[in-house]
Structure 1
Amino acid sequence: MAIVLGTPAVDELGNVVRALREWQDDAAPIQLHPGDLGWFWRFGAERTAAATRTWSRDGDVVAAGMLDEPELIRLAIRPDLQHDEELAQQLAEDVSAPERNVLIEGKVYVEAPMGSLVQDLLFKDGWMTDDPWVPLRRDLSEPVPDPGLRVDVIGAEEAHERTGVQRASFDGSTFTDARWHAMADGVPYADARCLVGRNEIGESVAAVTVWSAGEGRPGLLEPMGVHRLHRGRGYGQAITVAAARALQDMGSSSAIVCTPGFNVGAVATYKAAGFEQLPDKRDLYRND
């Protein structure tokens, strides 16, 4: 049966989220997580659907991709099909041909699971490796200690605090209250929490959103930030520990996060919070 490339309708996104949940496994390469789709959902369901691609065989989704940008697609592949030749060849062809409506013309990027066959095919076809990303994981089989910081779970009434910390953590952030509500209305947010850390006088100093993929599966931190006026006081480490603890409460087997290799401060923060640094991940790119 042929593999079919598609763009899901809004009411079909739930099927994509379910597939991504099922594909999360501590024994498999880190790949696109339902939380990645959930974080993108802040732009609305319609835009999320338009940025999603699926590859199906016999009616079953066997791979999925999310266009973080028109020139970057992040792929997830069903674990038992990471080395399926037919699927890898179809993925490689589809991301390489602008007329397939996956990536645009020009310089484009593909993030695929490390060690997957599609990576090998793209590399042999002249794609090159980009700058490294650092994945980190914390095992949650043992109790996670108290973070030593007051941490509140944020709901709709406190959304402005979560968005305010985000904008104060990342230059150019466009995370508004309206976008928080759009994210919270998304299918993946049913298994997510927004956390805000407060200092001794109650100010919002750090924030994180955590995404569960279900009982016994890896959960994701995306994103985590510390307010620019409150840095250098250990709040990043504390809110990261709180994130791991929240995922443990939600039944996650581990907590995962990925940060650019040049962000040595973030890597140090995650390691101080008990995360183990894993081998680097690298996107592939081609500049036509």
Structure 2
Amino acid sequence: MRLRESRVGTLAVQNHVPRRCGVGLDPCMSITLQPETPDSLGELVEAVAVWQHDGGPVQLHPGDLGWNWSLGVQELAEAVRVWARDGQILAVGMVDDATGLIRMALAPSVDEDDAFAAQLLADLSDPGQGVLPDGAGAVEARFGAAFRDLLRRSGWEADEPWTPLSRDLTEQVEDCGLRVEVIDAHNVQARIVQDRIAVQQAMFPNSTFTLERWRTMAAGSPYRQARCLVGYDGDGDAVATVTVWSAGEGRPGLLEPLGVHRDHRGHGYGPAITVAAAAALQEMGSSSATVCTPSSNVGGVATYVSAGFQKLPDVTDFRRPN
């Protein structure tokens, strides 16, 4: 399924409105679908960061790429798809082969670009393009009015609902009530890293997070603007953890992932570490803290709301019609 060809040349982050195809306008440059290479992943992270803005949907974030960086740069590069026009990156997708889902981020300037939306849909619908497999397939497209409208009109069906949440960070964040230790690119203490990994493994029964994976993640370019937080109870036990990802000053930051040790649930540590995450992002210059969780995760949604996050309208993925 994955493309193996090497990409030729470099792509620039889009900072201008592209030309639109139509009567009386200059002809548009061709839209190209290109595979990614490990050496240029940092460039894509910056492109996706520029597209983050308050008031918009929670789409693919640098933190999503950063978290998946832990699986290895080669594997991440093979999962990424890039759409460009006239040398400008316009869309980035990250494919999960196991589920047949591609998570998308689009440049604001192609929000209503019908020609670009049509090319995206054509590439997603053609298994020969190496984006989605034949038969099954879904797309997480939370931005791009033209693209989303075209998906609906083409018979793509609403899939699992997700609940986005956001907390504005213009006001001072309250104290979380936990002792919190921070791991960033400049402060790495082995004991805290081990606690961070242990809590992650205790959060999810089938977790594959290891010290090696953490080191791989921490070596990636997204982690230069990220922090891992570990919360401790009064007895000094590590009870909760979160990784927060900045997209740059004045842009929304992301919580990914967050959780509480299975042996320490029911004591309010979830809301506490969530508040700590918001405070960390505020210190890093983020304008807001964002997260998106399955709507079926009622407890998770309640945790974020109790930590001062505003629940936004549910969104769904789009599943390809049978």
Q: Deviations over 1:72-103 (max 9, x none)?
A: 00111101211111111111111111110101
Report the secondary structure of 1:107's partner residue.
coil
Kindly indicate whether the alpha-carbon contact (under 8 Å) linking 2:58 and 2:292 is maintained by their aligned counterparts in 1.
no
CA distance in 1, matches of 2:134, 2:70: 26
Q: TM-score, normalised by structure 1?
A: 0.97
Correspondence for 1:126: 155
Correspondent of 1:135 among 139, 145, 164 = 164
SS at structure 1 position matched to 2:53: coil
Alignment partner, residue 107 of structure 1:
136
Q: Which runs of 4+ in 1 moved over 4 A?
A: none
Q: Is 1:30 matched with 2:58?
A: yes
Which residue among 12, 22, 26 is the counterpart of 2:40? 12
SS at match of 1:104: coil
Write the mapping of 1:77-226 to structure 2, written as runs, cut at 5 A: 77-114=106-143, 116-154=145-183, 155=188, 157=190, 158-226=192-260
CA apart distance, 1:139: 0.1
* Structure 2 unaligned residues grouped into runs of 5+: 1-28
Rounded Cα–Cα distance in structure 1 between residues aligned with 2:254 and 2:53 = 12
**TM-score normalised to structure 2 length:** 0.87
Q: Does 1:60 align with 2:88?
A: yes
What root-mean-square deviation, in Å, do the aligned CA atoms of Structure 1 and Structure 2 show? 1.1
Alignment of 1:208-247 (within 5 A): 208-247=242-281
1:191 and 1:212 in contact (8 A); partners too = yes
Supply the distance in 2 between the matched residues of 1:113 and 1:79 (Cα, whole angstroms): 12
Which letter maps to 2:200?
Answer: Q
Residue by residue over 1:139-158, the C-alpha shift from the partner in whole angstroms, topping out at 9 and shown as x without a partner, is 00000011000000132513
Q: Are the counterparts in 2 of residues 138 and 256 from structure 1 also a CA contact under 8 Å? A: yes
Deviation at 1:162, TM superposition (A): 1.1
Partners of 2:141 and 2:317 within 8 A in 1: yes
1:114 Cα deviation from its structure 2 partner: 4.4
Specify every segment of 5 or more residues in structure 1 that has no aligned partner in the other structure, as ranges: none
Q: Aligned residue for 2:318?
A: 284
Amino acid in structure 1 at the alignment position of 2:115: E
Question: Quick check: 2:105–2:143 contact (8 Å CA) kept in 1?
Answer: no
Residue type of the partner of 1:252? S
Per mean C-alpha deviation after superposition, the further-off stretch among 115-124 and 181-190 is 115-124
**Residues paired across the two proteins, number:** 288
When Rg is computed on C-alpha atoms for both structures, the one with the higher figure is: 2
Task: Determine which of 14, 21, 42 is the counterpart of 2:70.
Answer: 42
